[in-house]
Structure 1
Amino acid sequence: MESRIEQRMQQLQEKGEKAFITYMTAGLPSMEGCKELIKAQEQAGTDVLELGIPFSDPVADGPVIQDASYKSIQLGTNLKKVFALMKEVRAEGVELPIIFMMYYNTALYFGLEDFVEECIKSGVDGLIIPDLPLEEQGELQQFLQKEGAPILIELVSPVSADRIPTILEGARGFVYCVSGMGVTGQSGNFHKQILNYLASVKKVSKIPVMMGFGIEEAKDVAPMKEVIDGAIVGSHFIKLLEANDYAPKAAAEYCSRFKKELNQL
């Protein structure tokens, strides 16, 4: 069965459009506020939303996302509450494809089988787990074979070079290309060989190629527009939310503008 993510990618491909994906931390500014932001982004035309599950030791996240994660934990956000939030937004008619961006320990502690069950019940479409390398995915993947289970989105980076074909062999949804070395939110400082790297991913990938890490405006990806199928904005989006007191209107305006400009590049 195709997931919501795959259906959306298919629709975009048919229309010849690029995907716009955002990242925000679950539980901010509150559970209710988070729900309003999800709805605002869906209405603004965001294609996929990555919902960050706050974690105490986020290895791939830069200071902005770390700080948001910390604030959310202080408010009492945990995985159970995020599952409840997901059930509510789905019950209220939200069809936006939603991915949990999280660390493996959170799922492991919850219990992998129970975790996947809850994902199915609450309408989680995908998982991005930066600290789970391909070689360690077996245990989780066996539970992800269930009907309606989320798909695991693979990450590749400039150092993945020789492993890219192997990583992408059974990959689904889209491939998340980390555009530089280091953590999220290092703006615009793109890897010198980025175009060659993205082109090498594009050559072997049967699924759409998304670029993330350090993107603020659509024009940032203009040099890569021929080789990528979409862009992911995280740290900059969180800064924008904070600067606007998490107003759904500000989120919607940014998303609809970025989406429009991305497809006019």
Structure 2
Amino acid sequence: MNRIEEKLAKLKEKKEKAFITYMTAGLPDMEGTKEIIRIQEQAGTDIIELGIPFSDPAADGPIIQQASFESIQKGTNLTKVFNMLEDLRKDCEIPIVFMMYYNTVFHYGLERFVEKCIQIGVDGLIIPDLPYEAQGDLAKFLDKKGAPILIQLVAPVSKKRIPMILKNARGFVYCVSSMGVTGQDATFHKDVVEYLHTVKEISNIPVMMGFGIRTAKDVDGVRDTIDGAIVGSHFIKLMKESDYNLEEIKNYCSNFKKELNQY
């Protein structure tokens, strides 16, 4: 088991839901990124999705698109993120998932990329523009010891494909709760409850719900079905509006985690 699986196993033992955040690497700068990750670990965030800035983040709405643009303008690239994480891993063990687009991986070189992830301590990958049928070239390098887990995404329109997608899935399944891009303010798909039940029945791994979540209250209707919640665009907005104030970030994460598990 890697850090993701170990963390989720511990949460299952404690009967706790997982709280996962998304943040863009390089904001407010590389040192600030490290501080935000560390403060989240202290606050009780369970897993962090670290967005690797990309020029055309097709799965993301305007808030994350803008964050990605601003980070690129500051000179953020994959090599700099690897260097930052290598330094962070000296004193930080929180599970980290790279959320990125396939062109970045392909350009770096598939085998070279996986080897670097193993060396640095990247625990998982989310690649929204890499469909299940096209994962083979990368997957053959992910069999190595210490390699990151490729997290699978499913959506309300994936119904017939879910058994295939989740057959050998590891870590957790990322359930997209709305159609379209990220950051849609809890406008969930009309059949989201039935859809999440379907995923839960099929999946052998924890089921996480993402897209449009702002507060723990947003998942009240599916709390008994899901194993955790993912907050992205709202978290990016909160950090920016507070000028990346660490105390506000810590309070938000701590409160969300507590409220998510008050039942």
Same fold (TM over 0.5): yes
In the alignment, structure 2 segments of 5+ residues that lack a partner are: none
Pairs within 5 Å for 1:154-233: 154-233=152-231
Q: Is 1:41 aligned to 2:36, yes or no?
A: no
Q: Residue in 1 aligned with 2:26?
A: 27
Distance in 1, Cα, partners of 2:120 & 2:77: 15
Distance in 1, Cα, partners of 2:175 & 2:14: 23
Pairs within 5 Å for 1:1-265: 2-91=1-90, 93-265=91-263
In the alignment, structure 1 segments of 5+ residues that lack a partner are: none
TM-score normalised per structure 2: 0.99
The one-letter amino acid paired with 1:240 is L
Cα distance, 1:197 vs structure 2 = 0.2
Distance in 2, Cα, partners of 1:181 & 1:84: 35
Cα distance, 1:205 vs structure 2 = 0.2
Give CA-to-partner distance per residue, 1:61-118, whole Å, 9 cap, x none. Answer: 0000000000000000000000001101001x10000000000000000000010011
Distance in 2, Cα, partners of 1:43 & 1:131: 32
Distance in 2, Cα, partners of 1:224 & 1:45: 22
Distance in 1, Cα, partners of 2:106 & 2:70: 23
- What SS does the corresponding residue of 1:143 show, helix, strand or coil? coil
Distance in 2, Cα, partners of 1:199 & 1:23: 24
Distance in 2, Cα, partners of 1:70 & 1:250: 24
TM-score normalised per structure 1: 0.99
Distance in 2, Cα, partners of 1:172 & 1:7: 12
Misfit runs of 4+, over 2 Å: none
The one-letter amino acid paired with 1:86 is L
Distance in 1, Cα, partners of 2:185 & 2:14: 30
Q: How many residues align?
A: 263
- What SS does the corresponding residue of 2:8 show, helix, strand or coil? helix
Give CA-to-partner distance per residue, 1:204-233, whole Å, 9 cap, x none. Answer: 000000000000000000000111000000
Cα distance, 1:247 vs structure 2 = 1.4
Distance in 2, Cα, partners of 1:144 & 1:105: 17
**For the aligned residues, what is the CA RMSD?**
0.5
Distance in 2, Cα, partners of 1:164 & 1:248: 39
- What SS does the corresponding residue of 2:89 show, helix, strand or coil? helix
The one-letter amino acid paired with 1:251 is I
Cα distance, 1:250 vs structure 2 = 1.1
Identity of counterpart residues, as a percentage?
66
- What SS does the corresponding residue of 2:198 show, helix, strand or coil? helix
Cα distance, 1:249 vs structure 2 = 1.3
